[in-house]
Amino acid sequence: MTPLLDTALDLFLSAILIGGGIFALVGSYGLLRLPRPMQRLHAPTKATTIGVGAALLVSALDLLGQGQISWQELLITLFLLLTAPVSALFLAKTLILRGEADPGMPDSGTGQPWATLAEERADP
Amino acid sequence: MRRLFPHPYLTLTLIVLWFLLVNQWKIGSLVMAVILGTVIPLITSTWWPDRPRIQRPFALAAYAVLVLWDVIVANFQVARIVLFMPRDRIRSAWITVPLELTQPEAISLLAGTITMTPGTLTADMSACGRALLVHALHAPDPDAVRDDIKARYEARLQRIFA
């Protein structure tokens, strides 16, 4: 690649990196600023995903100038997308069980309680 | 065949994952990938007895692109609420989403999608598995959020999973 293209790529990747960093920061700031536990859950699940995602994208494309793409970063992004909802669900269920979730939880509308609050697990 | 490969999609996924992990295209990696792709589904099949019925695998790829795009949009929306909205004006709400989907894999996918996209988070499921409990960070109109989830994501998943 020509030096000009190389510089353009560097600038582009730096911009993504800074943007991702800002989102990660906002996510952490959300943890501090939002008043209720259920609201605080929203900040890290979303803002952090794009923060880490941006860093990984840059890492994967960094060697593009030498004609290489690193695929492992794609894998990390995939695992992140798969695991973030699971940990968020666990945290939400913990809050519900401890009675620290927002008040006013609605009925499930199916005649059965929410799984976390059910007395015994219904056999599948 | 069925007993050797209880989950063909899982086998394929594991093979691709292994290649991405070792980051090189060698015959040795292929052997290892095939071994892992055979053994892991076999020893985990006890906990995953049913096979998901996927009708349109290509629609699943289109769905992934749609969700990825929504994740990016979601980040901007949540960032705006976190940074600029006064604390007492954030109207959080609980939403019950009745489910049309019945396959566990499809419901997991929907629940994950809800968590990753605009201001919503899956918090629980009803004991019978026919409704999801969703928490919205800022939803002045909870019914609209529910309809949006059903029309945008659940309808697509229903077409993908038979």
Please name the residues between 7 and 26 in chain A that touch chain B, using a CB distance below 8 Å.
Answer: 23, 26
- Confidence band of A15 (pLDDT split at 50, 70, 90): very high
Each residue's pLDDT tens digit, A41-100 = 887 777 667 888 888 888 888 777 676 777 778 788 888 888 888 888 898 888 888 888
* Residue B19 resides in a domain: yes
Each residue's pLDDT tens digit, B17-66 = 888 888 777 888 888 888 988 888 888 888 877 777 777 778 888 888 99
What number is the average pLDDT over the span B66-74? 85
Select from A81, B70, B62 the least CA-distant residue to A73: A81
Q: Which residue range forms the structural domain that includes residue B17?
A: 8-47
* Residue A57 resides in a domain: yes
B65 and B42 in a single domain? The answer is no
B135 and B86 in a single domain? The answer is yes
Chain B closest-CA separation from residue A4 CA (Å): 29
B23 and B80 in a single domain? The answer is no
Question: d(Cα B129, Cα B117) in Å, to the nearest integer?
Answer: 21
Question: Total domain count for chain B?
Answer: 2
Q: Which residue range forms the structural domain that includes residue A88?
A: 3-101
Give the per-residue SS3 of A84-121: HHHHHHHHHHHHHHCCCCCCCCCCCCCCCCEHHHCCCC
Binning chain B into helix, strand and coil, the percentages to the nearest 5 are 60, 15, 25
* Residue A119 resides in a domain: no
Mark yes or no for CB contact A96/B23 under 8 Å. no
On whether any CB of chain A is under 8 Å from the CB of B60, the answer is no
Query: In chain A, whose CA is at the least distance from the CA of B96?
Result: A108
* Residue A35 resides in a domain: yes
Q: What is the pTM of this model?
A: 0.82
B73 and B21 in a single domain? The answer is no
* Residues of chain B neighbouring A60 (CB-CB closer than 8 A): none
On whether any CB of chain A is under 8 Å from the CB of B32, the answer is no
Q: Which residue has the higher pLDDT, A74 or B136?
A: B136
B135 and B153 in a single domain? The answer is yes
- The per-residue pLDDT for B1 is 62
* Residue A18 resides in a domain: yes
Please name the residues between 83 and 122 in chain A that touch chain B, using a CB distance below 8 Å.
Answer: 84-86, 88-89, 92-93, 95-96, 101-102, 104-116, 118, 121-122
* Residue A108 resides in a domain: no
B23 and B63 in a single domain? The answer is no
* Residue B3 resides in a domain: no
How is residue B148 annotated by DSSP?
H
SS3 B143: helix
User: Do B133 and A114 form a contact (C-beta atoms < 8 A)?
Assistant: yes
Q: What is the dihedral of CA A57, A62, A65, A66, to 10 degrees?
A: -110
B24 and B78 in a single domain? The answer is no
B79 and B107 in a single domain? The answer is yes
Of A42, A74, A116, the CB nearest to B78: A42
* Residue A117 resides in a domain: no
B149 and B114 in a single domain? The answer is yes
